Amino acid sequence: MLQLYNTMSRQKEPFRPKDGPVVKMFSCGPSIYAPPHIGNYRTFIWQDLLQRYLAYLGYEVKRAINLTDIEDKAIEEAQERGVPVGELTGDIALRFIEEARKLRIELPAKIPRSSTSVDQAVYLIRKLLEKGCAYRYKADIFFDPLKFKGFGKLFRLDMSKWPETRRRFKQDTYPGRRWNLGDFILWHGCKNRDKVCWDTEIGKGRPSWNIQDPAMISQSMGYSLDIFCGGIDNLYRHHDYNIAVMESVSGKELSRYWLHGQHVLVGGKKMSKSLLNIVYPEDLIGQGFSWEQIRFYLMSRHYRKRIDMNMDQAHKARSRLEALREMAADLLRGTGAEKTINDQAASELTVQMKVAFETAMNNDLDSPSAVNAVFGAVQRLHSLQKAGGIGREQTRAIGNQLLRTDSVLQVLF
């Protein structure tokens, strides 16, 4: 049975969706003020593995991923470049969709954006005002965490340290892994110099980042999910803000399972513009890597463990994938014989490959062990083929299992 590490409980749990064979899954998408980098794509790749493995197990996956296109950073970046925000984010959105396709990341047919969910954000804020969880301060609107019982439960925030004096934090995001002990902003009231502004029933302004995900989730998926995914940074503030907003409005549990993936580091440090150490897919493509090789490298370590970007390791992963692909292609070409003395052994190895692959993936998406299981089985099957061949029927069985396995991994063919 599939076991997933649930950040909410801090342990692995058997996966049991609320609605039988249907799984509702949300992934925090990119903030498209800048092109996504290798660290971002690592997150989307392990989430893609999860979606594909759920489908492999027979679930119907209803997934949403969002694009954040009107936060502070996007507005500031557009101003620096002297272009409209929509032009900046539109170009980056197209780049993300194209690169995701090349990395074989399956995206939903419709992807909501912050700018297309303003009406829903206004609706949520109006509900929060009515319930007394939110309040106006000048032209802005803030959420009071003390009005939500259980605030910080995902992070396990110690609310005994909450300050008695009211504090307000009005930026969309704040640097670093720290908590803002105070009220967080939901709505930026427009000022005369603001160019990104909507005229709504709660006033002129724009939704903050803290309300954008709840708006896009509730608009496209409703108020209750099975799985909520994101990077480990979201465990600080953002996801607990989402919980407080959504559960205050609906009174329902936002999500049963919470999954968080770790960073890709460069030289032991997180990628950042200030350190000039950001690595984009195009940088690896320029060094001769294929998109499938990049995907393979980024799934070569468990999603809850950091990857420290190392070109020697990346080259080893590339060589390993190419060896695996060559052996798999050779196996599927077959030897032409109807039956051989190796068929029974090949059949047993094929079953063992399936079982080992599923055992690894059922263990909280252990993709490195899953790949090792496939590589080892293919290597032994390839040796059998070289030592006397494998019959046509068993070759077809091997091919079917490899295709089924690759419906998840997306690197073999």
CA distances from 43 to 184, 301, 325, 401 (A): 26, 12, 24, 27
Say if residue 243 is in the same domain as residue 288: no
Residues in the chain, overall count: 413
Residue 270 is assigned to a structural domain of this protein: no
Report yes or no on whether pTM surpasses 0.85.
yes
**Are both 217 and 79 inside the same structural domain?**
yes
Buried b or exposed e, range 222-237, using 16+ CB within 10 angstroms = eebbbbbbbbebbbbb
Q: Tens digits of per-residue pLDDT, 109-150?
A: 999 999 999 999 999 999 999 999 999 999 999 999 999 999
Co-location of 247 and 344 in the same domain: no
Structural domain range at position 39: 3-261
pLDDT in tens, the chain (413 residues): 999 999 999 999 999 999 889 999 999 999 999 999 999 999 999 999 999 999 999 999 999 999 999 999 999 999 999 999 999 999 999 999 999 999 999 999 999 999 999 999 999 999 999 999 999 999 999 999 999 999 999 999 999 989 989 999 999 999 888 899 999 999 999 987 778 999 999 999 999 999 999 999 999 999 999 999 999 999 999 999 999 999 999 999 999 999 999 999 998 988 887 788 999 999 999 999 999 999 999 999 999 999 999 999 999 999 999 999 999 999 999 877 889 999 999 999 999 999 999 999 999 999 999 999 999 999 999 999 999 899 999 999 999 999 999 999 999 99
- For residue 283, which of 41, 19, 32 has the smallest C-alpha distance? 41
Residue with tokens 């995001």: 173
pLDDT tens digits along 20-71: 899 999 999 999 999 999 999 999 999 999 999 999 999 999 999 999 999 9
Same domain? 329 vs 360: yes
Is residue 176 in a domain?
yes
CATH number at 285 reads 1.10.730.10
In a domain? residue 59 = yes
